[in-house]
């Protein structure tokens, strides 16, 4: 069976003529620590499609890195239905991962992804799964997305990747998704591609998922919602801050961009956010530094540079004041957890 030759016309012709229809064989490769929300949002639309069509449109297989069991972030264990080596015989393979993917180093999984790619298997990644696709080397020249929590760390590690902030991305034979409930939207697009929009709508209605989001929708709530403010100057300033973490601007520069004085801008931030302008800016940079400590393999010197601190000692001092820990403490805790 060839993924690119299957479409809604062939399906409905087969149904009309009462001919047999060969289902897509879809594999879900579960990596320990995967989130059940991401898993369910990926697999349930396939199950519902089979149920609503009253025939097997999708054969669903489960695979695990160790060939037997995978454990979710909540401790739920799922059993593999086929061996990892059988991935090359699938039509589509989704890697579903969670937690901290930057510690992943299973060479057997990376090798099977590369082999599956050469065999024409469509490869997908959900939540942290796109990172595993990326380090296997199968995402070259393909647009992709990943859960927002991992995006900046992935950019720091692999700046050449074509990373977007979309909910999901379908780029030829690659499918990547941010996770959470976003796979519901991704699977709507996939089922539409295979079996048409009317049938895909039946599947989403089955889950009362009536507002299907387009691929390019935001992963996170807007700044208005996150900071509970609609003040245009405050929102604009935070947007500028988030795009200048490595090269932080001065208060005077931020104020000038908004057409305000430094005093006016600080008054706005204190009233709207409860912090001064530069206090919030520092908090944004420190939060990013902590994510990089926890998720990336960058040195602490590189993390200091990536978040706009002049030295390790400068970063460590501010970090300790804010988190009551140093970057080295975070790295030590990370090492102890493995």
Residue ranges per domain, the chain?
3-206, 223-333
Does the domain at residues 223-333 carry the CATH identifier 1.10.10.60? yes
| Residue range 222-227: mean pLDDT, rounded | 73
Q: What is the pLDDT of residue 9?
A: 47
| Residue range 148-154: mean pLDDT, rounded | 79
How do residues 51-70 score in pLDDT, each as one tens digit? 999 999 999 999 998 768 88
pLDDT surpasses 90 at 28: yes
Query: Among candidates 121, 70, 60, 120, which has minimal Cα distance to 99?
Result: 70
d(C-alpha 46, C-alpha 87), whole Å = 18
- Using alpha carbons, list the distances in angstroms from residue 272 to 58, 143, 227, 304: 51, 37, 8, 29
**Alpha helix (H) residue ranges in the chain:** 8-16, 36-53, 107-118, 129-136, 148-157, 182-195, 197-206, 223-227, 232-242, 251-258, 262-272, 277-295, 300-306, 312-323, 327-336
By mean pLDDT, which of 1-10, 38-47, 114-123 is the weakest?
1-10
- Using alpha carbons, list the distances in angstroms from residue 236 to 246, 252, 326: 18, 15, 31
In Å, how far from its chain's centre is CA 27?
Answer: 19
d(C-alpha 227, C-alpha 179), whole Å = 23
How do residues 261-292 score in pLDDT, each as one tens digit? 999 999 999 999 999 999 999 999 999 899 88
Does the domain at residues 3-206 carry the CATH identifier 3.40.50.880? yes
More confident residue, 132 or 230: 132
pLDDT surpasses 70 at 15: no
Q: Count other C-beta atoms under 10 Å from residue 232's C-beta.
A: 9
pLDDT mean across residues, the chain: 85
| Residue range 178-197: mean pLDDT, rounded | 90
- 236-256 burial by CB neighbour count: b if 16+ within 10 A, else e? ebbeebeebbeebbebeebbe
pTM exceeding the 0.95 threshold for the entire prediction: no
3-state secondary structure of 125: strand
Q: What is the pLDDT of residue 96?
A: 95
């Amino acid at each position: 069976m060839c993924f690119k030759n299957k479409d809604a016309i062939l399906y409905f012709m087969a149904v009309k003529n009462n001919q047999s229809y060969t289902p897509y064989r879809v594999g879900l490769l579960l990596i320990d620590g995967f989130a059940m929300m991401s898993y369910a949002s990926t697999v349930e639309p396939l199950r519902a499609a089979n149920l609503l069509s009253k025939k097997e449109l999708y054969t669903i297989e489960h695979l695990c890195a160790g060939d037997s069991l995978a454990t979710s972030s909540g401790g739920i264990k799922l059993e593999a239905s086929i061996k990892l080596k059988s991935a090359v015989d699938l039509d589509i393979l989704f890697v579903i991962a969670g937690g901290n993917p930057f510690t992943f180093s299973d060479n057997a999984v990376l090798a099977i992804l590369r082999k599956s790619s050469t065999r024409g298997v469509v490869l997908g990644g959900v939540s942290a799964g796109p990172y595993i696709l990326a380090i296997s080397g199968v995402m070259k020249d393909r647009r992709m997305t990943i859960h927002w929590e991992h995006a900046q760390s992935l950019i720091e590690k692999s700046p050449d990747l074509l990373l977007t902030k979309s909910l999901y991305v379908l780029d030829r034979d690659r499918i990547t998704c941010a996770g959470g409930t976003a796979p519901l939207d991704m699977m709507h697009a996939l089922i539409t591609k295979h079996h048409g929009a009317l049938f895909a709508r039946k599947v989403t209605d089955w889950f009362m998922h009536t507002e299907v989001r387009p691929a390019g929708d935001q992963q996170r709530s807007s700044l208005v919602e996150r900071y509970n403010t609609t003040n245009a100057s405050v929102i604009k300033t935070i947007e500028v801050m988030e795009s200048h973490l490595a090269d932080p601007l001065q208060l005077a520069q931020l104020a000038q961009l908004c057409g305000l004085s430094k005093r006016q801008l600080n008054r706005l931030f204190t009233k709207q956010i409860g912090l001064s302008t530069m206090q919030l800016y520092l908090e944004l940079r420190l939060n990013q530094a902590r994510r990089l400590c926890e998720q990336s393999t960058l040195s602490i010197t590189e993390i200091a540079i990536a978040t706009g601190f002049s030295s390790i000692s400068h970063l460590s001092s501010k970090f300790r004041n804010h988190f009551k820990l140093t970057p080295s403490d975070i790295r030590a805790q990370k090492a102890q957890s493995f």
